Structure 1
Amino acid sequence: MKQKPTYKTKGFWAGILLAQFLLFFIFSKIEFVVNLFSSFFELQKGYHQAIFSSLAFSVGDIFYIILGIGLLYFVFKIIKKKSRNIFLLRFLIAANILYFSYQLFWGMLYFQQPIIKNLPKGNITLKETQDLTLKYLNLCKQTRQLVKEDKNGVFMVTNLGSIKNEILQNQNYLPDFLGHKKAVNINAFKPSLYEGVMSYTGILGYYNPFTAEAQYNAELPSTYLPFTLAHESIHQLGFAREQEANFTGFLVGRSATNLELRYSTEYFVLKSLLNSLAEKNPEFAKSVLQNYSAEMKRDRRAEKDFRKKHEGLLDVLFGYTNDLFLKSNQQEGSITYSYFVDLLIRFERTLPKK
């Protein structure tokens, strides 16, 4: 019997996949190699975004749908004894290609040097956190007076295009301590095709590493939406860690001339600070909530109503899996804000005292 070439065997491709796991794990521990992947991302990100941004629909979402259908098809064929061998082989080849593409275009960026190393050192005190919370409470109150409301008196985004344009523009003025990531000024924001489902998962948006699109849930309350766009656009710059994307998104929105972007950013910061204080000083956090303006209380109620309407098994499942994914990539869990607050307060220390 004629022997199959090695590259046509399941064992060969299973071995290649295992070798990739080990190789990329080793790469993640070597700063020089991680920097090479980061440099490659910088070189290709503009071309990558340009290819898919010209299409109005979400190419990445369609890719995931095809991927899901393909996975079910492979499972069906692998279960059947007659077609098992050939489809298991094809599955292993496809898994190798997808895993390599993911690591090449995105995965290794999780192991870049943390932003916190470029900010002032020292322990974060409870007083600093509380003082900053009061500062953002006042900022939110002031900005909230200047934005539009819907018929229910809830904050309303009126011009999403203007917000997207300012996010892209403000990326050009990020501080030097963030590194040398250059803005490409390409509008690759896409409303997700899964928005109806996303509302039940707790996912506000996501970056697609295969198509470089910044996806967002268009059903979100307006308080969430502008900052979610800023956050996902930061992933497009090459910041992979979630809380670093939050922090850099904050830098994009903190002084925005677009008041809707600025309010959403300030409101996100305030909520993050309160979340970090919920266990350390619950009485203080409660007093801040009580001191929300009437307008902010309406916005908070609208967010709570949205979450309550969409809570369920999917929310728990996606929250758990997202938590595991973050922790597997050297990040805190999905509901932990301490790293973001650390970055925020250390940045605050660099600002001139008034």
Structure 2
Amino acid sequence: MGSVRLALGAERYNPLSEGLEAGIGPMDEKRSPARICFIIAGVLLAACPALMWLFAQFSDALFPLYRNFSKAWIALLAGVTGIVPFALWDIGVLVLAVAALIALVRCIFKRCGFALWLSLVALALSATLFSFVGGWALNHYAPPLAQEIGLDTRESTIDELADATAFYLEQAARSAPLVPRDAEGRLVRQDFFEIASIAGSSYAVLEERHDIFYGSHSPVKALLAWGEPLLYSGHIGIFWAPTGEPAVPLNCADADRPFTMCHEAAHRLAIASEEEANFAAFLACEASDDARFIYSGYYHAFVYCFDALYAASPECAQELLEEIAASDLYEGAVLVFSDRAATRAHYDAYEGPFEEVGTAVNDGYLRSFGEESGVKSYGLVVDYLIAWHESGSAAIALQSGQPSGRLGR
């Protein structure tokens, strides 16, 4: 009888029967869905660093072919996801996370199917990463934007930096009074989706001059679920390549919003470098016929240059402030600095440990794709701004009515 009970017990708890229930019995173990998913996930995951190495070594041979492919792919995705004004991935990530959690709970209670669940999660994550790297991120290895638009960038002197800073402050001060403000001079919050629509098509003028700027004109998206967490991570915008969606939190600071939206839209045009996306955003804002965009562009150009000038020569920065205080642009300059203080105060509320984590993650990502300065690369746009100022483009813009001609001077 003892042997009979042992046999019955073995039948009841036979690992083979559990394996068959999970779909991984010995007859089809090599063809089981879980095994296949794990293999595909591994291949996709391994392909990412392989592609990064390939593009780092042979970028000259792979561009502009890859960038053209990337633009077409991203434009297709943007056309599909552009049916709604908010980022689909923003909601989709939450929905998929909840679905995965429910499936995991079912696996635990049924005591089967965990291998398949894990393989599907691994496949989804690796496919997303491969889509990000293969479909867009390899644009980090593209030729410099300066080369694409014929801009000569080089190391500049303190005097050249000071001249550029003074120019951008002057233009920001001219445009500051012309954007909507309340009785106390503070920026009035504009309709998010109106600004997003303008930003989405902000490169239409520039693409007539340079092919690098052609691409999707879909509106920039709103982040509904992940907007606040993104701000706490120290970031005010994101481009999600797997869905082709540039997105910005609803609570982005007023002075930042047009420029930041143009920055994320630049990423959608396969401009991956943060430095170059900043400069592209400035060009888009400067070329706009909307005073809100013009001001946001020159405001950011001034902030980047002034920070660089102050770090290099506090004395020169102080001289600049004294000169503007004695000029007829003083009142406009006061608005510029008031907006800067308001922007800082706005983001100070989001400071905390999550910002350090978010910054570290972003720094690692940028460095992995060859941006050796990491998060500091955001400020390297100064080289582009000085070159643009010295190239004569600024004078041409002014002569054609941009920005001061359109701003009432």
TM-score normalized with structure 2 length: 0.76
Give the conservation status (yes or no) of the 8 Å contact 1:218–1:225: no
User: Map of 1:159-198 to 2, 5 A cutoff?
Assistant: 159-160=191-192, 163-174=195-206, 179-198=211-230
Does the residue aligned with 2:383 lie in a helix, a strand or coil?
helix
- Of 23, 47, 50 in structure 2, the residue corresponding to residue 20 of structure 1 is 47
Identity of aligned residues (%): 21
In structure 2, what is the equivalent of residue 2 of structure 1? Answer: 27
Does the residue aligned with 2:247 lie in a helix, a strand or coil?
strand
Give the conservation status (yes or no) of the 8 Å contact 2:363–2:374: yes
In structure 2, what is the equivalent of residue 149 of structure 1? Answer: 181
In structure 1, what is the equivalent of residue 344 of structure 2? Answer: 304
- Of 338, 345, 348 in structure 1, the residue corresponding to residue 386 of structure 2 is 345
In structure 2, what is the equivalent of residue 251 of structure 1? Answer: 283
In structure 1, what is the equivalent of residue 306 of structure 2? Answer: 274
In structure 2, what is the equivalent of residue 314 of structure 1? Answer: 354
Residues 14, 161 of structure 1: CA spacing in aligned structure 2 closer, same or farther, 3 A cutoff? closer
Letter in 2 for 1:196: E
Does the residue aligned with 2:178 lie in a helix, a strand or coil?
coil
Q: Report deviation, 1:268.
A: 0.6
Matched, 1:48 2:91: no
Residues 270, 352 of structure 1: CA spacing in aligned structure 2 closer, same or farther, 3 A cutoff? closer
Letter in 2 for 1:333: G
Residues 278, 325 of structure 1: CA spacing in aligned structure 2 closer, same or farther, 3 A cutoff? farther
Deviates more, 1:337-346 or 1:78-87: 78-87
Matched, 1:100 2:148: no
In structure 1, what is the equivalent of residue 334 of structure 2? Answer: 294
Q: Report deviation, 1:305.
A: 1.5
Q: Report deviation, 1:285.
A: 3.0
Does the residue aligned with 2:375 lie in a helix, a strand or coil?
coil
Residues 353, 229 of structure 1: CA spacing in aligned structure 2 closer, same or farther, 3 A cutoff? closer
Q: Report deviation, 1:121.
A: 4.8
Q: Deviations over 1:267-314 (max 9, x none)?
A: 111111122223211233345467573322321221122122221112
Give the conservation status (yes or no) of the 8 Å contact 1:77–1:87: no
Distance 2:390 2:107 in 1: 58
Distance 1:90 1:185 in 2: 34
Q: Report deviation, 1:132.
A: 0.5
Give the conservation status (yes or no) of the 8 Å contact 1:155–1:223: yes
Q: Report deviation, 1:176.
A: 7.4
In structure 2, what is the equivalent of residue 110 of structure 1? Answer: 140
Does the residue aligned with 1:145 lie in a helix, a strand or coil?
helix
Q: Report deviation, 1:218.
A: 1.7
Give the conservation status (yes or no) of the 8 Å contact 1:140–1:267: yes
- Unaligned runs of 5+ residues in structure 1 are none
In structure 2, what is the equivalent of residue 60 of structure 1? Answer: 89
Give the conservation status (yes or no) of the 8 Å contact 2:220–2:261: no
In structure 2, what is the equivalent of residue 334 of structure 1? Answer: 375
Letter in 2 for 1:127: D
Distance 2:44 2:268 in 1: 27
Q: Report deviation, 1:59.
A: 0.7
Distance 1:309 1:226 in 2: 21
Distance 2:250 2:349 in 1: 16
Letter in 2 for 1:9: R
Distance 2:231 2:113 in 1: 39
Letter in 1 for 2:127: I
Q: Deviations over 1:188-208 (max 9, x none)?
A: 433443233333222111111
Give the conservation status (yes or no) of the 8 Å contact 2:213–2:269: yes
Distance 2:27 2:350 in 1: 59
Q: Report deviation, 1:70.
A: 6.1
Q: Report deviation, 1:320.
A: 1.7
Letter in 2 for 1:111: Y
Letter in 1 for 2:367: K
Give the conservation status (yes or no) of the 8 Å contact 1:226–1:264: yes
Letter in 2 for 1:19: A
Distance 2:221 2:53 in 1: 34
Larger Rg: 2
- Unaligned runs of 5+ residues in structure 2 are 1-25, 396-409
| Residues paired across the two proteins, number | 354
Distance 1:135 1:202 in 2: 29
Deviates more, 1:111-120 or 1:128-137: 111-120
Deviates more, 1:198-207 or 1:126-135: 198-207
Q: Report deviation, 1:109.
A: 1.7
Q: Report deviation, 1:63.
A: 2.1
Distance 1:283 1:71 in 2: 58
Q: Report deviation, 1:324.
A: 1.4
TM-score normalized with structure 1 length: 0.86
Q: Report deviation, 1:83.
A: 5.4
Does the residue aligned with 1:190 lie in a helix, a strand or coil?
strand
Give the conservation status (yes or no) of the 8 Å contact 1:49–1:188: no
In structure 2, what is the equivalent of residue 239 of structure 1? Answer: 271
Q: Report deviation, 1:250.
A: 0.6
